[in-house]
């Protein structure tokens, strides 16, 4: 009988260390309770043994509150003299935002890149450029206000993640609320990211819920994209919504043996 593939568990490197406080111990236990369902996508361990950075895909998110983000980041810090550890963690709707958090915590940018990437690929130049913008987030340009992940766990449907941010860039003053819409094709070969522009958070929220019109697209980054990318921008789809989640395990997008994940609108 062939052995089924089991992804490696996260490498926390805390053997021989104790939590710095009882709160740290309780929080770490809560975050890592189901660590057999946390799939490592990127990791970095500092040479001095003081820091560990992890980007993980949470396969249990599909059974959580509808809309729950599926990526988790951890920054573990150790006091090597006292043999204690502390940690910070965050949940993210998309990989570029998770990478941005790790980099801000001190992780080298190259180490935040995915260690294996056999999942869907960016469908066009615009997708890659928008992801680069989210990953860099220069001068704290984007503040995440809301996000939603819809995951039908089925190859019959595509993947969608919507992330609502406030854009502080002066050029966005008239439409400072932006929806980054990530859509993965149902064959799981490629995905697109598009940026919608709205004058208010309420208008953005209404569009995400109703999808009665095409996404009102923001100007392309730097004002210059190829004609092919511009044509792709105009083909933003309207979400059908309301899909039930079958009781099936999901493995991470952008990683080996990945299966679809989709975005569900979170409860107000």
Q: pLDDT for 129-147, tens place per residue?
A: 999 999 999 989 999 999 9
Share of the chain above pLDDT 70, in %: 80
Q: What is the pLDDT of residue 254?
A: 59
The rounded distance, in Å, linking the Cα atoms of 113 and 108 is 9
User: For 12-60, how does the pLDDT look when each residue is reduced to its tens digit (9 = 90+)?
Assistant: 999 999 999 999 999 999 999 999 999 999 999 999 999 999 999 999 9
The answer, yes or no, to whether residue 213 has pLDDT greater than 80, is yes
Q: Using CA atoms, how far apart are residues 190 and 235, in angstroms rounded to an integer?
A: 15
* Rounded (10°) CA dihedral 85, 89, 94, 100: -70
2 or 69: which leads in pLDDT? 69
pLDDT in tens, 94-127: 999 999 999 999 999 999 999 876 678 999 999 9
Residue ranges of domains in the chain: 18-233
Q: What is the mean pLDDT of residues 145-156?
A: 85
Q: Tell me, what's the pLDDT at 244?
A: 29
Q: What is the mean pLDDT of residues 238-259?
A: 40
Contact 156, 185 (CB under 8 A): no
Spatial distance between the Cα atoms of 57 and 85, rounded to a whole number of angstroms: 23
Model confidence at 62, pLDDT cuts 50, 70, 90, reads confident
Indicate the burial class of 120 (C-beta count within 10 angstroms; 0-12, 13-18, 19 or more): buried
Average model confidence (pLDDT) across the chain: 84
Q: Which residue has the higher pLDDT, 108 or 158?
A: 108
Query: Per-residue pLDDT for 268 more than 50?
Result: no
DSSP string, 131-194: HHHHHH-GGG-EEEEEEEEE----TTS-EEEEEEEEE--GGGTTS-EEEEEEEE-TTSSEEEEE
What pLDDT sits at residue 2? 53
- Kindly report the pTM of this predicted structure: 0.83
pLDDT at 247 over 60: no
Residue bearing the bigger pLDDT, 69 or 239: 69
Distances (CA, A) of 6 to 36, 254, 257: 9, 16, 10
């Amino acid at each position: 009988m062939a052995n089924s593939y089991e992804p490696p568990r996260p490498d926390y490197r805390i053997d021989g260390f104790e939590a710095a406080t009882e709160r740290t111990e309780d929080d770490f236990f809560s975050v890592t309770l189901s660590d057999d369902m946390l799939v490592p996508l990127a990791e970095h361990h500092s040479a001095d043994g003081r820091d560990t950075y992890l980007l993980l895909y949470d396969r249990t998110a599909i059974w959580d509150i509808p809309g729950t983000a599926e990526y988790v980041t951890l920054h573990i810090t150790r006091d090597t003299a006292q043999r204690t550890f502390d940690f910070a963690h965050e949940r993210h709707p998309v990989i570029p935002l998770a990478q941005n958090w790790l980099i801000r915590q001190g992780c080298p940018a190259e180490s935040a890149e995915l260690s294996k990437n056999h999942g869907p690929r960016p469908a066009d130049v615009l997708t890659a450029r928008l992801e680069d913008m989210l990953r860099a987030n220069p001068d704290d340009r984007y503040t995440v206000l809301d996000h939603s992940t819809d995951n039908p766990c089925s190859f019959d449907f595509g993947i969608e993640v919507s992330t609502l941010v406030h854009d502080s860039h002066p050029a966005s003053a008239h439409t400072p609320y932006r929806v980054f819409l990530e859509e993965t094709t149902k064959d799981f070969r490629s995905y697109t990211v598009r940026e919608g522009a709205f004058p208010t958070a309420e208008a953005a929220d209404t569009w995400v819920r109703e999808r009665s019109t095409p996404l009102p697209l923001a100007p392309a980054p730097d004002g210059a994209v190829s004609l092919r990318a511009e044509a792709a921008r105009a083909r933003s789809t309207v979400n059908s919504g309301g899909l039930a989640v079958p009781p099936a395990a999901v493995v991470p997008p952008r990683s080996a043996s990945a299966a679809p994940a989709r975005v569900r609108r979170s409860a107000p």
